[in-house]
Amino acid sequence: MNDEMIRRYVETWREARPLLDAIRHKEIREADNLKVLAILEGAFNHALRTLPPRPSSGMVEMQKRFAKLRR
């Protein structure tokens, strides 16, 4: 890309940002969270039934690694 193309690219996104922000805020305001949760309920329940429980959340392992780095 040459300088002119980069300038136009940046300017296009600069102009689009307020419009995209307005769309995002409108979608957030109008979201039906209960409907979304109902849609995801089946997938969540399936995961609970079929996936084995994790031995930990990963936080314990991460803390062990951090402790080794400090030494």
- 3-class SS shares of the chain: helix, strand, coil, % to 5: 80, 0, 20
What's the pLDDT tens digit per position in 1-30?
899 999 999 999 999 999 999 999 999 999
18-48: b (≥16 Cβ within 10 Å) or e: eeeeeeeeeeeeeeeeeeeeeeeeeeeeeee
Whether the model pTM is above 0.85: no
CA distance 26 to 8: 27
